[in-house]
Amino acid sequence: METFQHKNGYKRIFKENKLTLGLFIPIESYSGDTPTMENHIQMAQKADELGFGALWVRDIPLHDPYFGDVGQIYDPWVYLGLLSAYTEKIALGTGSIVFPLRHPIHLAKAAASVDQLSKGRLVLGIASGDRRVEFPAFNINIPSRGEAFRETFGYFKQVLHENFPIIDSKVGKIQGNAGVIPKPYQNDIPIIITGSSRQSFDWVSEHGDGWMYYPRGLEQQAQTVQAWRNTTSTFKPFLQSLYIDLTEDPDREPRPIHLGFQLGRNYLIQFLKSLEAIGVNHVMLNLKYGQRDAEDVMEELAAEVLPHFPSITS
């Protein structure tokens, strides 16, 4: 099975037994659910220049105050198009596109467009969705979102690869007389499945080119990574997110925060090395809960932490 070593985004951040670092956009610290998005393009460019592996955007169609986070505000495909124009080497990832809420033709058209415009830097994270207010707004039955995910996935893959497909699906039909262009920059787009996405573990390992999971304690995460490795015959990367509040004191011991830690850089390096040792291949850092200026944190990470976990290619 192809492992996407030719893909510019994939090969920058994924290699067996190696861990790399990416950043969730917005690259800023803020309170409440809505970021300022001030200087956001300059921050993305700086992340590219400093050598971070990837920038990650989220797919949040509706503002749901219950979740307390609207991501980068802008539509992910529009935003990725902008990022592709203003960055050069950094991978562009989605964490994650909610497949049941979007038609597969639109998904294929958007994903291939971003992949072409960025010269193969797209890494496509996908999910079944967990914001319950969104499903009735799109006239999707919440209990059926797992089935809708599979239907959309199959249709998406077919129109992405075939020039004039024949498709008879619950979400649409094509009779071999039409097709989607453009096609991906280099044959295919790596797909990273988030959590279970309402599918069996075997389905995820068979159809995904990697697996994105949630931050857990080291012992539990080690078991999760091992379970993933046991289901895959070839290397498929394991990713996780991590919220950090990086303190000025490099030796500040870790204190738990939501889905991460407040800690000094020396403990962060130690923790990331532990994740690398158990087989985690990429960590998406989120600076939302930080107390310091995000640009200062990013520069400290680049100077002191990134050398331990460099991107695979520069």
**pLDDT tens-digit profile of 221-261?**
999 999 999 999 999 999 999 999 999 999 999 999 999 99
Token pair, residue 114, equals 């971003």
Tokens standing for residue 265: 């850089």
Position 7 scores a pLDDT of 76
Q: Is residue 23 part of a domain?
A: yes
* Residues contacting residue 192 through CB under 8 Å, at least 6 positions apart: 93, 96, 123, 124, 125, 126, 208, 209, 210, 211, 212, 237, 239
DSSP string, 249-272: STTPPPEEETTEEEE-HHHHHHHH
Would you say residue 229 lies in a domain? yes
Query: In angstroms, how far is the first alpha carbon of the chain from the final one?
Result: 26
Q: ∠ CA 51-60-82 to the nearest 5 degrees?
A: 45
| Domain CATH for 235 | 3.20.20.30
- Tens digit of pLDDT per residue, the chain (314 long)? 445 555 799 999 999 999 999 999 999 999 999 999 999 999 999 999 999 999 999 999 999 999 989 999 999 999 999 999 999 999 999 999 999 999 999 999 999 999 999 999 999 999 999 999 999 999 999 999 999 999 999 999 999 999 999 999 999 999 999 999 999 999 899 999 999 999 999 999 999 999 999 999 999 999 999 999 999 999 999 999 999 999 999 999 999 999 999 999 999 999 999 999 999 999 999 999 999 999 999 999 999 999 999 999 75
Is residue 1, in this structure, part of any structural domain at all?
A: no
Kindly state whether residue 186 falls inside one of the protein's structural domains: yes
> Does 314 fall in a domain?
no
Per-residue model confidence (pLDDT) at position 227: 97
- Residues of the domain holding 53: 8-308
pTM of the complete model: 0.96
Provide the domain count of the chain.
1
Is residue 202 a part of any domain in this protein? yes
Q: How far apart are CA 141 and CA 201, in angstroms?
A: 23
Is residue 3 domain-resident? no
What pLDDT is stored for residue 6 in this prediction? 54
Report yes or no: 120 and 7 within 8 Å, Cβ to Cβ. yes
Nearest alpha carbon to residue 300 among 276, 257, 266, 275: 266
CB atoms within 10 A of CB 130: 14
Residue 112 lies in a domain: yes
d(CA 205, CA 231): 6
What's the confidence (pLDDT) of residue 4?
Answer: 57
